[in-house]
Structure 1
Amino acid sequence: MSLYHSTRSRAEECSAKEAIRRGLAPDGGLFVSDELGSAKVDVDGLAELDYAAIARAVLGLLLPDYTADEIAACVNEAYTGTFASPEVTPVVPLTKAPGAAAGPHAHVLELYHGPTSAFKDVALQMLPRLMARAQASAGAGEKIMIVTATSGDTGKAALAGFADAPGCGITVFYPEGKVSRVQELQMTTQAGANVAVAAVRGNFDDAQSAVKGIFADRALAERLAAAGIVLSSANSINVGRLVPQVVYYFAAYAQLMRAGAIAAGDAVEFCVPTGNFGDVLAGYYAKMLGLPVSKLVVASDKNNVLFDFLTTGVYDRNRPFFTTTSPSMDILISSNLERMLYYVSDGDCELIAHLMADLAETGRFEVPAELLAKIQETFACGWADEDEVAGAIAASWHENAYLIDPHTACGYHVLEKLPAAAGSAARMLLSTASPYKFPRAVLEALGEDVPADDFACMRKLEEVTGTCAPAQLAALETAHERFSDVVDVPGMGAYVEDAALRL
Structure 2
Amino acid sequence: MTTFHSTRSTTDSLTSKQAIRKGIADDGGLFVSDQLGETKVDIADLAGMSYQAMAQRVLGALLPDFTEEELAQCIAAAYGDQWADERITPVKPLGDDFVMELFNGPTSAFKDVALQILPRFMARTTPADGGANEKIMILTATSGDTGKAALAGFADAPGTAITVFYPQGKVSQVQELQMTTQTGSNVNVCAVEGNFDDAQSAVKRIFGDRELAARLAGDSHVVLSSANSINVGRLVPQVVYYFSAYAQLLERQIINVGDEVEFVVPTGNFGDILAGYYAKLLGLPVKHLVVASDKNNVLFDFLTTGTYNRNREFFQTISPSMDILISSNLERMLYYLSGKDTRLIAMLMNDLKQWGAYEVPDDLLARIRAIFGAGWADENQVRDMIADCWNEHHYVIDPHTACGYFVMKQMPRDPLTPRVLLATASPYKFPRVVNESLGLDASGTDFECMDALAAATGTVAPSALRGLETAAVRFKDVVTIDGMEHFVQSAAESL
Give the TM-score of the pair, scaled to structure 1: 0.97
**Tell me, what secondary structure is at the counterpart of 2:422?**
strand
**CA distance 1:426–1:86, shift in 2 (3 Å):** same
Equivalent position to 2:467, from 455, 475, 480? 475
State the partner residue of 2:370: 377
Identity of aligned residues (%): 65
Amino acid of the structure 2 residue aligned with 1:132 = A
Q: Is 2:334–2:345's contact at 8 Å kept on the other side of the alignment?
A: yes
Where in structure 2 are the equivalents of 1:288-367 lying within 5 Å?
Answer: 288-367=281-360
Please state if 1:110 is matched with 2:92.
Answer: no
Measure how far apart 1:282 and its partner are.
0.2
Counterpart CA distance in 1 for 2:437 and 2:121 is 40
Measure how far apart 1:136 and its partner are.
6.2
Counterpart CA distance in 2 for 1:423 and 1:141 is 58
Counterpart CA distance in 1 for 2:488 and 2:116 is 23
Give the TM-score of the pair, scaled to structure 2: 0.98
Counterpart CA distance in 2 for 1:385 and 1:195 is 36
**CA distance 1:194–1:424, shift in 2 (3 Å):** farther
Where in structure 2 are the equivalents of 1:451-462 lying within 5 Å?
Answer: 451-462=443-454
Amino acid of the structure 1 residue aligned with 2:23 = G
Amino acid of the structure 1 residue aligned with 2:84 = A
Q: Is 2:441–2:452's contact at 8 Å kept on the other side of the alignment?
A: no
Measure how far apart 1:465 and its partner are.
1.1
Amino acid of the structure 2 residue aligned with 1:264 = V
Amino acid of the structure 2 residue aligned with 1:130 = F
State the partner residue of 2:125: 134
Counterpart CA distance in 2 for 1:448 and 1:21 is 46
Where in structure 2 are the equivalents of 1:86-97 lying within 5 Å?
Answer: 86-94=86-94, 96=95
Equivalent position to 2:160, from 168, 187, 201? 168
Please state if 1:279 is matched with 2:244.
Answer: no
Measure how far apart 1:159 and its partner are.
0.1
Equivalent position to 2:484, from 474, 492, 501? 492
Please state if 1:190 is matched with 2:186.
Answer: no
Counterpart CA distance in 2 for 1:106 and 1:141 is 52
Measure how far apart 1:52 and its partner are.
0.4
**Tell me, what secondary structure is at the counterpart of 1:318?**
coil
State the partner residue of 2:58: 58
- CA deviations over 1:272-326 (Å, ceiling 9, x no partner): 0000000000000000000000100000000000000000000000000001110
Q: Which runs of 5+ in 2 are unaligned?
A: none
State the partner residue of 1:21: 21
Q: Is 2:335–2:341's contact at 8 Å kept on the other side of the alignment?
A: yes
Please state if 1:67 is matched with 2:67.
Answer: yes
Amino acid of the structure 2 residue aligned with 1:336 = N
Q: Is 1:268–1:424's contact at 8 Å kept on the other side of the alignment?
A: no
- CA deviations over 1:410-444 (Å, ceiling 9, x no partner): 00000000113x68521000000000000000000
Q: Which runs of 5+ in 1 are unaligned?
A: 97-104
State the partner residue of 2:228: 235
Q: Is 1:148–1:155's contact at 8 Å kept on the other side of the alignment?
A: yes
Counterpart CA distance in 1 for 2:385 and 2:238 is 25
CA RMSD of aligned residues (A): 1.0
Q: Is 2:3–2:16's contact at 8 Å kept on the other side of the alignment?
A: yes
**Tell me, what secondary structure is at the counterpart of 2:418?**
strand
Measure how far apart 1:330 and its partner are.
0.3
Please state if 1:450 is matched with 2:442.
Answer: yes
Equivalent position to 2:411, from 397, 418, 425? 418
Equivalent position to 2:150, from 152, 158, 162? 158
Counterpart CA distance in 2 for 1:202 and 1:183 is 17
**CA distance 1:411–1:440, shift in 2 (3 Å):** same
**Tell me, what secondary structure is at the counterpart of 1:161?**
helix
State the partner residue of 1:180: 172
